[in-house]
Structure 1
Amino acid sequence: MLPFFKKKNGESPKMEGSESTVSSEELLDETSTDSSDDEIYTELSIHPEWNIPKEDRYAFQFLNQELPPLKPNQLSLSGINIMQSDDGSYRIAAFVRNSLDKAIKLEDATLVLLDDNDEVLGRKAFNLADVGEIPAKSARPWNFKFTSKDLFTTELPAEGWKLAFQLKPTSRKHSLELAESWEKSLAEESKQQLEEMVNKLTPPKAGEVNFMGLKANQAENGDLHVTLLIRNGSEKNVNLEQLPLQVEDASGEVIAKGGFKLEKLQVKANTSKPWTFIFPKSLITKESIDLSKWKAYPPEQKK
């Protein structure tokens, strides 16, 4: 077995990966009977069959104490480190954390390895029964082996990566996502209306990203404000940095066309996010526009 930690001139061990969390109800159909705690700190739990040196046990204890608290009814994978074996495979060490007030047992699950932009670096199905029974409110270190067949790259990042449970598509309902600025400024009634609309709409096809018009109006200064619902049917987050858009009014004519720099506008996996795009008056190609009926779309998506 590979050593658990890289010896670096007496330096204290550190978490080289990030943490991913998932609802225990989504993954296991399990919830706590008492969910009154706002923050749950996990206790270290070493597998009873592991015989490890005291030095490694102290290191695991130290790292566990550094981990942030979980919320009730969560499971998480907290990345410890990645080490390469002589055969070229990788051993990815992570804490499996349980915030429930009861012990759990994991079974078959697919894990994905992600970089710091949530791009998928690898994927593998595991039988996690060997992890054993994870006690209530505890963190158990475990090793996950990825071979070249499980990875989509030959270079893995030293830090910032994370392991995550891949939920089955049927268990993930397409939902509304609001940017922080929208969360703060939008009235509760408007939020509820948006959420109800997203719930009623047929979700986008798997892997599809599309745009749905919500609202369009022309301001007093002549600028055109267009609010779209960006719908991500993919199982991974989508980052939009630049987006060309054009708008047609009721006549079917293109009345505005422009490109938008979005500074990595992120739409999370399987969610819809509203966003407003402002076309300056100078980009409007028609003097009198009819917004009783309209549509906006990237030019390449026009059918």
Structure 2
Amino acid sequence: MQNLQFERAWDKTISEKDRERINNVFLKTNSSTNRGIQFTPLWQAVNHKSELLVTTLIQNFSEQTLIFNNRKLLYFKNNKLIAEHIFSIPNLLVERNTSIPWTFIFPVNSVLQQADLLNGYIEMDGKNN
């Protein structure tokens, strides 16, 4: 059975509205027949530094812990690559059968082209699994 967890800093600071939104997305998507890793989109934004912020629900349906050590993530919109970046996040571990919300920050130099911030999605580059 899939479990929803919030990283400690998230748990302390997230608004009730956002927590409810994440819970609703989790309830709709937690019974995947996929046994791998899925990134369920939540929302996207651009910050004051023009970095792309992509908040997603990382869903580990596998039997192994997911560690973000040199993981290349790709951000797509309409099947078109918008940004790519290699992430090393030591404190982000996603245990097996666990879902965790997280915001990935794509630096300006990793954004290949601008796109509206609707309906984008993240995939993990299979070459670095």
Aligned equivalent of 2:102: 275
Q: Please tell me the residue identity of whatever aligns with 1:270.
A: N
Q: Distance in 2 between matches of 1:243 and 1:224?
A: 17
Aligned equivalent of 1:241: 69
Instruction: Determine if contact 2:39/2:121 at 8 Å carries over to the other structure.
Output: no
Q: Distance in 2 between matches of 1:249 and 1:264?
A: 28
Distance 1:186 1:300, change over 3 A: same
Instruction: Determine if contact 2:41/2:122 at 8 Å carries over to the other structure.
Output: yes
Shift of 1:212: 1.6
**Alignment RMSD (CA, Å):** 2.2
Aligned equivalent of 1:194: 22
Shift of 1:273: 0.5
Aligned equivalent of 1:219: 47
Name the SS of the counterpart of 1:225 in structure 2. Answer: strand
- After TM superposition, the structure 1 = structure 2 runs for residues 66-145 of structure 1, keeping only pairs within 5 Å, are none
Q: Please tell me the residue identity of whatever aligns with 2:115.
A: I
Shift of 1:176: 1.0
Q: Please tell me the residue identity of whatever aligns with 1:283.
A: S
Instruction: Determine if contact 1:204/1:231 at 8 Å carries over to the other structure.
Output: no
Instruction: Determine if contact 1:228/1:274 at 8 Å carries over to the other structure.
Output: yes
Post-superposition CA distance 1:76-131 (Å, at most 9, x none) = xxxxxxxxxxxxxxxxxxxxxxxxxxxxxxxxxxxxxxxxxxxxxxxxxxxxxxxx
Q: Please tell me the residue identity of whatever aligns with 1:256.
A: A
Number of equivalenced pairs: 127
- Provide the identity percentage: 26
Q: Distance in 1 between matches of 2:104 and 2:69?
A: 13
Match 1:292 to one of 118, 121, 126:
118
Which has the bigger relative contact order, CA under 8 A and spacing at least 6? Answer: 2
Q: Distance in 2 between matches of 1:266 and 1:209?
A: 13
Normalising by structure 1, we get a TM-score of 0.38
Shift of 1:234: 2.8
Distance 1:176 1:284, change over 3 A: same
Q: Distance in 2 between matches of 1:181 and 1:264?
A: 11
Distance 1:256 1:206, change over 3 A: closer
Runs of 4+ in 1 over 6 A off after TM superposition: none
Q: Unpaired runs of 5+ in structure 1? A: 1-172
Aligned equivalent of 1:164: none
Q: Unpaired runs of 5+ in structure 2? A: none
Larger Rg computed on CA atoms? 1
- After TM superposition, the structure 1 = structure 2 runs for residues 1-12 of structure 1, keeping only pairs within 5 Å, are none
